[in-house]
């Protein structure tokens, strides 16, 4: 059995963030009150839309925007601040983004510290309009599926969209908030959300079936940062990120050595680069494996934290998940080794 030790906290910025959150907790703010978990948005739940249609909905990531678009249908114009390949951990709002956020009727974001550098802007806007973290209900009910990785002390792993059922719960919550905000069209939002949930249920089962075709000893998913913890738990892989939960984390050389030994010992045929993270850390695994007579190659690019470009097939939430599963299955099922 392979046991990899937990990653240490390597980023001073992340550490400051954790210290800050600890300070907030010591001031009597529980997880539910932390702006990064989004429950402050609930204070705006009495607000009701009174403007002209279409509603202006602004979302932080592409995956939120695509899913909200399915729920809102023709009643809203939905935009995403972060385009393809954008890393949400490092993302800072541009002046044009602030204007977009100011013009929005309602804002949806991920929460769980994913958008660590724009949380203050969102918190500020939350005093004027509904600003909803799609993960807020998971936190409020302390959902058992939320991951609390040891290197992310006291925080939840934000990459919940990679477990399709967990994401379906987030979008159900977002749909409820949208229905409350725009009660005249609530029945449309509820009906669209039910149809979308059925689609996501099917997608979830398809993911499980596909991953089950990979020979069991090879079910290791090695990527640049630890974005696939939920995915791996949901679909039966073991995920190993070279960096921690945030792309701001640095790589620990001892941890790199452990990953190299894992690749060699388990004869894992492929490692994966990510669309929103530099590929060089993952590429650095290839040569040391070759020196130990194990050929490992780049199995392809995964969409970890952002959707793919237009017309890539991964420019929707469903397309992103399907593209990742296909890349992982093809990479790990290869018989070349
Ligand atoms: Zn990430």
Which residue reads 């059922």 in tokens?
A: 165
**Centroid of ligand 1 to alpha carbon of 201 (angstroms):** 24
Note the pLDDT tens digit of each residue in 75-134. Answer: 999 999 999 999 999 999 999 999 999 999 999 999 999 999 999 999 999 999 999 999
Expressed in angstroms and rounded, the spacing between residue 296 Cα and the centre of ligand 1 is: 24
**Burial group, residue 190, by CB count within 10 angstroms (0-12, 13-18, 19+):** middle
Q: What's the gap in Å between 25 CA and the centre of ligand 1?
A: 24
Name the CATH superfamily housing domain 26-207: Nitrogenase molybdenum iron protein domain (3.40.50.1980)
Task: Give the pLDDT band of residue 4 (cuts 50, 70, 90).
Answer: very low
CA–CA distance, 166 with 239 (Å, rounded to integer): 18
- Gap between the Cα atoms of 316 and 214, Å rounded: 25
- What are the sequence ranges of the domains in the chain? 26-207, 210-333
Distances (CA, A) of 278 to 87, 238, 243, 265: 10, 22, 11, 26
Q: What is the mean predicted confidence (pLDDT) over 66-81?
A: 98
CATH number of 210-333: 3.40.50.1980
pLDDT of residue 11: 38
Give the mean pLDDT of 129-144: 97
Do 26-207 and 210-333 have matching folds? yes
Sign of CA dihedral 30, 36, 37, 42: positive
pLDDT tens by residue, 170-189? 999 999 999 999 999 999 99
- Give distance in angstroms: CA of 158 to centre of ligand 1: 7
- How far away, in angstroms, is 321 Cα from ligand 1 center? 15
Instruction: Please tell me the distance between residue 243's alpha carbon and the centre of ligand 1 in angstroms.
Output: 10
> What's the angle, vertex CA 324, arms to CA 290 and CA 66, rounded to 5?
150
Confidence of residue 278 (pLDDT cuts 50, 70, 90): confident
Tell me the pTM.
0.87
Tell me how far apart the alpha carbons of residues 156 and 150 are, in angstroms, rounded to a whole number.
10
Give the H or E element holding residue 133: strand 131-133
Question: pLDDT tens across 227-276, in order?
Answer: 999 999 999 999 999 988 888 777 788 899 999 999 999 999 999 999 98
For residue 306, the CA-to-ligand 1 centroid distance in Å is: 9
CB-proximal residues (5 Å) to ion ligand 1: 227, 305
pLDDT above 90 covers what percent of the chain? 77
User: How much is the pLDDT for 90?
Assistant: 94
């Amino acid at each position: 059995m392979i046991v990899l030790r937990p990653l240490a906290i390597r980023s001073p910025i992340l550490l400051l963030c954790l210290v800050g959150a600890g300070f907030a907790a010591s001031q009597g703010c529980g997880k539910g009150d932390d702006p990064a978990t989004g429950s402050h948005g609930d204070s705006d739940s009495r607000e009701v839309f009174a403007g002209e249609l279409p509603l202006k909905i602004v979302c932080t990531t592409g995956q939120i925007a695509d899913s909200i678009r399915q729920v809102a249908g023709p009643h809203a114009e939905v935009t995403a601040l972060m385009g393809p390949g954008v890393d949400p951990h490092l993302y800072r709002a541009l002046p044009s983004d602030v204007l977009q956020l100011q013009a929005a009727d309602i804002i949806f974001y991920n929460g769980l510290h994913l958008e660590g550098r724009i949380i203050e802007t969102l918190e500020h806007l939350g005093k004027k309009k509904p600003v909803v973290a799609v993960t807020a209900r998971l936190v409020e009910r302390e959902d058992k599926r939320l991951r609390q990785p040891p290197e992310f002390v006291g925080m939840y792993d934000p990459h919940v969209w990679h477990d399709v059922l967990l994401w379906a719960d987030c979008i159900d919550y977002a749909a409820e908030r949208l229905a409350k905000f725009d009660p005249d069209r609530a029945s449309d939002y509820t009906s669209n959300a039910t149809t979308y949930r059925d689609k996501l249920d099917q997608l979830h089962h398809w993911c499980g079936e596909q991953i089950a075709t990979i020979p069991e000893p090879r079910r290791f998913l090695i990527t640049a940062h630890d974005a696939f913890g939920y995915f791996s738990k949901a679909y039966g892989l073991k995920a190993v990120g070279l960096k921690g939960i945030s792309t701001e984390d640095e790589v620990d050389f001892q941890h790199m050595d452990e990953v190299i030994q894992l690749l060699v010992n388990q004869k894992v045929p492929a490692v994966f680069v990510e669309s929103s993270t530099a590929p060089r850390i993952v590429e650095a695994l290839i040569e040391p494996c070759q020196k130990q007579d194990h050929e490992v190659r780049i199995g392809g690019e995964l969409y970890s934290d952002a959707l793919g470009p237009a017309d890539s097939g991964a420019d929707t939430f469903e397309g992103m998940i399907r593209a990742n599963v296909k890349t992982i299955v093809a990479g790990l099922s290869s018989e070349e080794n």
